[in-house]
Amino acid sequence: MARTQGSHSDITGPRVREAALRLFAQHGYAAVSMRQIAREVGVQAGALYNYTPDKQALLFSLLQGHMDELLAAWEAEPRPQGARDRLEGFVRFHIRFNLARPEAIFISYMELRNLDPENFAVIEALRKRYEGALEEILRDGQTEGAFSVPDTRLASYALIAMLTGVNTWYRAGGRLSIEEVADIYWDMVRKAVSAG
Amino acid sequence: MARTQGSHSDITGPRVREAALRLFAQHGYAAVSMRQIAREVGVQAGALYNYTPDKQALLFSLLQGHMDELLAAWEAEPRPQGARDRLEGFVRFHIRFNLARPEAIFISYMELRNLDPENFAVIEALRKRYEGALEEILRDGQTEGAFSVPDTRLASYALIAMLTGVNTWYRAGGRLSIEEVADIYWDMVRKAVSAG
DNA sequence: AAGCTATCTGAACATGTGTTCAGATCAAGC
DNA sequence: GCTTGATCTGAACACATGTTCAGATAGCTT
């Protein structure tokens, strides 16, 4: 019968995922060995295979877990009436969520090419769903006459790139709080989609 | 006496760099072996060491070469009077230059962490110099009263990320020409830094 | 207290890694 | 036509890689 309490796997499982996430983010998937992950967890390399069928599945599981969290969190957000308020909500949500999970965000953008084709397709579909939410807001705003965005597809790419870029420079404890950063970015986004 | 004509190195040298650039961009530095590069060139792995002291130096040389080209090209651009026109010049230059060298741009952003610390410092300094040019334009525009950008540092990060993001989705032969893309991005940038 | 089984170790496997180097090759310069 | 030396081959080196597995370990269940 399976042990349901005090099992090491309750401890080791998450630790494996945390170590892998941190190391993949720091050095890159290809540059990190299973033995490095194991050392970080305080275990032999073979023990990792109680928690993942192989290295590739470990990467995929991390990315999929992150995308699921992202979509769930976004869909749990309030959905205001006007497109303008929905856009503001998206900007602030994206910055807040991304800065709370820098490693996951990082590997989500950097390690896509290290996914097997089938795994890549799954993650890519999830990402398209998330980015589609932004484009929908832009389209609504265009219809409402609240925005002036001739090409909503392009604009969504541009804004996503801009917002995600926060992760490349933001460091906790710097001169700006997350809310201040979000204020500044929202100001730029607001103007960028306006009639100007 | 060194052969000065018909030497194979005149052919092989560039081919090594091209193969490395393409493979690094496609699979990542850590995931590409010297034997893969050699196979692409049509040579044995040992021969590569006539063209680079080691794998790390090959990556560094590619990145440094690219940054030198980028800075030289930017400094050769015309420098209009007003900050507004200089910003437009920067936006169009950045998009045009980046889309002309997708692989080099890609590894410049993805493979920084695979550089030795000393090499990283060199590349980082070059990149700061380029991004500093944008910030200077924003500062000038703020002084002139042409822009409304309270935090020029942040704004430069935001705009660079947005512009560089073009490379993630643009494919030659798509529905938009490079000039059309530049028009749309310049429109968004112009509005984002305006008084709004 | 005894036994069961999830968990982990430690060694092994086949293959791949970056790098070196003695010797083959072959075009250029005399 | 012979020599010279840049260029390349092919094998070797020491070590790292992902993964497997028989056996040791240890904590829950009865």
Look at residue A143 and tell me whether its pLDDT is greater than 50.
Answer: yes
Inter-chain contact B154–A160, Cβ cutoff 8 Å?
no
Q: Are A34 and A55 in contact (CB under 8 A)?
A: yes
Domain co-membership, A48 together with A118: no
A58 and A151 assigned to the same domain: yes
B47 and B59, same domain (yes or no): no
What is chain A's Cα-based Rg? 20
Q: How far is CA B59 from CA A14, A64, B24, B102, in A?
A: 35, 31, 8, 16
- Which residues on chain B are in Cβ contact (under 8 Å) with A114? 28, 31
User: To the nearest whole percent, how much of chain A has pLDDT over 70?
Assistant: 96
**Closest partner residue to A161 among B162, B181, B189, by Cβ?**
B162
Helices (H), B4-54: 8-27, 34-41
Q: What is the model's pLDDT at position A118?
A: 96
CA of B98 and C1' of D13: distance in angstroms?
Answer: 42
Q: Which residue of A has its CA nearest to B33?
A: A30
The number of distinct structural domains making up chain B is 2
Smallest CA–C1' separation from A53, nucleotide: D19
- The CATH number of residue B178's host domain is 1.10.357.10
> Can you give the residue range of the structural domain that contains A154?
54-192
Instruction: Note the CA–C1' distance, B184 to C23, in angstroms.
Output: 61
Q: Same structural domain for residues B87 and B169?
A: yes
pLDDT at A7: 57
DSSP A173: T
**Residue A76 pLDDT exceeds 50:** yes
pLDDT at residue number A100:
97
Average confidence (pLDDT) over A179-185: 98
A61 contact partners, CB below 8 Å, separation of at least 6 = A17, A52
Q: Are B95 and B44 within one domain?
A: no
**Are residues B66 and B17 part of one domain?**
no
Cα–Cα–Cα angle for A37, A41, A45, rounded to 5 degrees: 55
Q: Is the CB of B64 under 7 A from strand C?
A: no
How far are the Cα atoms of A94, B4, B50, B109, B155 from residue A155, in angstroms, in the given order? 16, 52, 47, 22, 17
CATH number at residue A12: 1.10.10.60
Q: Are residues A91 and A72 in the same domain?
A: yes
pLDDT of residue A83: 97
Quickly give B42 CA vs D6 C1' distance in Å.
18
pLDDT of A119 strictly over 80 = yes
What local confidence, expressed as pLDDT, does residue B2 receive?
38
Q: Is the CB of A1 under 7 A from strand D?
A: yes
Same domain, A60 and A22: no
**How many whole angstroms separate alpha carbon B154 and alpha carbon B73?**
25
Shared-domain flag, residues A161 and A66: yes
The reply to whether B132 touches chain A by the CB within 8 Å rule is: no
pLDDT of A39 higher than 70: yes
- Closest by CA to B59, choosing from B12, B118, B10, B107, is B107
Q: Of B17, B35, B52, which residue is a domain's last?
A: B52
Q: Which nucleotide is nearest to B48 (CA to C1')?
A: D8
Query: Virtual CA dihedral for A113, A117, A121, A124, nearest 10 degrees?
Result: 0
Nearest nucleic acid nucleotide to B8, CA to C1' distance? D7
Cβ of residue A164 lies below 7 Å from strand D:
no
A45 and A139 belong to one structural domain: no
Which parts of chain A fold into alpha helices (H)?
8-27, 34-41, 55-75, 83-100, 102-110, 117-144, 152-164, 166-169, 178-192
The b-or-e profile of A42-54 (16+ CB within 10 A means b, else e) is ebeeeebeebbee
One pLDDT digit (tens) per residue for chain B, 196 residues: 334 444 576 789 999 999 999 999 999 999 999 999 999 999 999 999 999 999 999 999 999 999 999 999 999 999 999 999 999 999 999 999 999 999 999 999 999 999 999 999 999 999 999 999 999 999 999 999 999 999 999 999 999 999 999 999 999 999 999 999 999 999 999 999 999 7
pLDDT of residue A50 exceeding 80, the answer is yes
Measured in angstroms, what separates residue A8's CA from nucleotide C3's C1'? 20
Q: Which of A30, A166, A194 sits opposite B28 (nearest CB)?
A: A30
CA of A153 to C1' of C24 (A): 59
Please count the residue pairs, one from chain A and one from chain B, whose beta carbons lie less than 8 angstroms apart.
93
The pair of three-digit structure tokens given for residue B78, joined into one six-digit string = 């015309």
Query: What pLDDT was estimated at residue A2?
Result: 38
Residues B136 and B121 in one domain: yes
CA of A47: nearest nucleotide by C1' is C8
End-of-domain residue from the set B9, B25, B52: B52
Restricting to B residues 134-193, those with a Cβ less than 8 Å away from any Cβ of A are 150-151, 154-155, 157-162, 164-166, 168-169, 176, 181, 184-185, 187-193
Q: Does residue B75 share a domain with residue B46? A: no
Quote the pLDDT of residue B161.
98
**Protein residue at shortest CA distance from C1' of C12:** A46
Q: What is the pLDDT of residue B7?
A: 56
- In the prediction, which pLDDT does A196 show? 76
Mean pLDDT of A83-110: 97
Could you identify the residue written with the tokens 């998009």? B95
Question: Residue B11: what pLDDT?
Answer: 85
- Listed as ranges, the nucleotides of chain D within 7 A of a protein C-beta are 4-12, 16-22, 27-30
